[in-house]
């Protein structure tokens, strides 16, 4: 028990430190303004600072640790991923998309400000993600920086997150998805960005193909486990602790892992996926303890 609670302590400490470091980075790069753009910058800071679990930056930090990469590089890349993740939440919450009022425990950006500001805040955050990656603060080697840009742009574009979101919307009206189709959708919609976050440590650390393959295996399993946990929270979670509306999938008549498998089998499947994830990174030894902690956390979290 002591060993387990020590592990949890270490994980929660890493989570707090990563979240604080990402906040500092956002605070430094999202400048407040007293010009006419002040409302946009205020809204962007409102959405970006002090919000979210910072799970993706934590995955960057965890994978960077495997290869002795500087923490400051990992935080820079983690902040870039969080730019993409945050912009996607802002846009997804718009009335024209999911029309949500609550996100990360507070009013969504278009509710607290307005739709135009929310669209622009998202657009600006996407550009900022690539500006951060291209900066020399990310890594001294331009080869590494451009590889990060290539990987993040692929993960967030038509062949990744944006494509997944389009499939998700189309599925509501056009067809009933089966398990294979939902797996494909989630690999794009949430899996691609989680995959990038894990891969990023390997890119920063110039890892060899064998280690990169191990990271990919870990990421695919953690990504799906994360999504099943999200579906379970939507069914069982309380909006107040989850920080966003729940029961949305059922109301929308959406097929999910939980609606297709049932709660018990979905939970068992998530647990199995986490075990698979852990196997992929077995060879890494002690350095992988953070990635192990995150994998276990993904299915035990309550938000």
List contacts with its own copies (CB under 8 A).
Answer: 30-31, 35-37, 39-41, 44, 87-88, 91, 94, 96-97, 114-117, 119-120, 122-124, 126-128, 130-131, 133-135, 142-143, 145-147, 149-150, 152-154, 156-158, 160, 162-163, 165-167, 169-171, 174-175, 181, 185
Cβ proximity to its own copies: between 160 and 237 the closer is 160
> What's the closest the beta carbon of residue 275 comes to its own copies, in angstroms?
31
Closest approach, Cβ 163 to its own copies, in A, equals 5
Q: How far apart are CA 29 and CA 256, in angstroms?
A: 37
Q: How far from the centroid of its chain's Cα atoms is residue 300's Cα?
A: 16
Least distance CB 170 / its own copies (angstroms): 4
Buried b / exposed e over 108-135, threshold 16 CB at 10 Å, is bbbbbbeeebbbbbbebbbebbbebbee
- Residue whose CB is less far from its own copies, 35 or 68: 35
The residue (of 155 and 233) whose beta carbon lies closer to its own copies is: 155
Cβ neighbours for 207, distance < 8 A, ≥ 6 positions apart: 66, 67, 201, 215
To its own copies, the closest distance from the beta carbon of 112 in angstroms equals 15
For β-strands 102-103 and 106-107, DSSP reports them as: antiparallel
Question: Smaller CB distance to its own copies: residue 176 or 251?
Answer: 176
Q: Which is nearer to its own copies, 174 or 286 (CB)?
A: 174
Q: Which is nearer to its own copies, 152 or 233 (CB)?
A: 152
Q: Which residues contact 229 (CB under 8 A, 6 or more apart)?
A: 270, 298, 299, 301
CA–CA gap between residue 193 and residue 228 (Å, rounded) = 16
CB of 290 to its own copies, least distance (A): 28
Minimum CB distance to its own copies, residue 182 (Å): 11
Residues 155, 165: Cα–Cα separation, whole Å:
12
Smaller CB separation from its own copies, 15 or 40: 40
Question: Any idea of the CA torsion for 213, 156, 74, 23, to the nearest 10 degrees?
Answer: -150
E strands, the chain, are 102-103, 106-107
CA 21, CA 290: separation in Å to the nearest integer?
17
As measured in angstroms, the least distance from the Cβ of 270 to its own copies is: 24
């Amino acid at each position: 028990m002591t060993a387990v609670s020590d592990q949890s302590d270490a994980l929660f400490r890493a989570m707090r430190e990563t979240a604080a470091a990402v906040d500092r980075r956002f605070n430094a790069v999202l400048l407040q303004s007293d010009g006419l753009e002040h409302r946009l910058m205020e809204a962007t800071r409102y959405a970006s600072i002090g919000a979210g679990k910072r799970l993706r930056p934590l995955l960057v930090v965890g994978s960077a640790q495997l290869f002795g990469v500087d923490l400051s590089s990992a935080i820079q890349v983690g902040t870039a991923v969080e730019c993409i993740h945050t912009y996607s939440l802002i846009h997804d919450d718009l009335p024209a998309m999911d029309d949500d009022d609550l996100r990360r425990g507070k009013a969504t950006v278009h509710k607290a400000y307005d739709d135009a500001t929310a669209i622009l805040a998202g657009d600006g955050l996407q550009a900022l993600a690539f500006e951060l990656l291209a900066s020399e603060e990310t890594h001294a080697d331009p080869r590494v920086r451009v590889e990060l840009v290539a990987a993040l742009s692929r993960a967030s574009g038509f062949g990744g997150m944006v494509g997944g979101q389009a499939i998700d919307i189309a599925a509501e009206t056009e067809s009933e998805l089966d398990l294979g189709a939902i797996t494909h959708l989630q690999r794009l919609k949430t899996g691609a960005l989680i995959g990038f976050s894990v891969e990023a440590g390997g890119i920063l650390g110039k890892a060899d193909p064998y280690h990169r393959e191990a990271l990919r295996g870990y990421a695919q399993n953690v990504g799906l486990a994360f999504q099943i946990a999200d579906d379970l929270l939507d069914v069982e979670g309380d909006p107040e602790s989850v920080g966003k509306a729940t029961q949305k999938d059922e109301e929308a008549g959406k097929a999910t892992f939980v609606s297709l498998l049932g709660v018990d089998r979905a939970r068992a499947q998530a647990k199995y996926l986490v075990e698979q994830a852990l196997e992929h990174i077995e060879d890494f030894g002690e350095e992988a303890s953070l990635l192990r902690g995150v994998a276990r956390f993904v299915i035990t979290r309550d938000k």
